[in-house]
Amino acid sequence: MDFSVINWFAVLVCVVVSMATGAVWYHPKTFFNIWWKGIGKKEGDVPGTENMTMTWILTVLASFVQAVAMAFMVPAVAGLMSSGVNMATGILTGFMIWLGFVAPTYLVNKLFAGHGFSVWLIEIGNHLLNFVIFGAILGAWR
């Protein structure tokens, strides 16, 4: 792996976008309340009161790792497409990675955890949005 080919600014933009989409996706006026109830929490429960610093550090780190992995995957997968690497093929790459790896893995985890289909839909919806946007950014910014 040649890390020198990565557009690090694009990776950082992906991380910022991921934090922004997560903030909107899990806002109380969007999906937070449904998700919170779906994972078995009560209305009075307070999310993440224990070691929030570590939670946020690991959340940002996870997003960074995903963006770096996508920075390698977009040229590798989209480069095999007839139109080459661009925004559209980056989007398709993000979608296919989500469809092939993220969505099925989350389905198994959520079903065995007893969280059900609605929690799965909420969580993979956020990941779909991020992977598609990551693909668009990384495909366009080469």
Compute the average pLDDT of residues 14-41: 95
**Per-residue pLDDT tens over the stretch 30-71:** 999 999 999 988 887 777 667 888 989 999 999 999 999 999
Give the model confidence (pLDDT) of 73-124 as tens digits.
999 998 889 999 999 999 999 999 999 999 999 999 999 999 989 999 999 9
Indicate the SS3 state at residue 15: helix
Residue 70 lies in a domain: yes
Domains contained in the chain, number: 1
Does some domain include residue 46? no
- Whether 44 is covered by a domain: the verdict is no
- Asked whether residue 50 is domain-assigned, the answer is no
List the single range of 4-8, 21-25, 44-48, 130-134 with lowest mean pLDDT. 44-48
pTM of the model: 0.92
Q: What is the rounded CA–CA span in Å between residue 64 and residue 18?
A: 9
**CB-CB contact of 38 with 122 (8 Å):** yes
DSSP conformation letters of 45-93:
PPTT-S-HHHHHHHHHHHHHHHHHHHHHHIIIIITTSTT-SSHHHHHHH
Q: Which domain holds residue 113?
A: 3-39+55-140
CA dihedral 43, 46, 47, 48 (to 10 degrees): -160
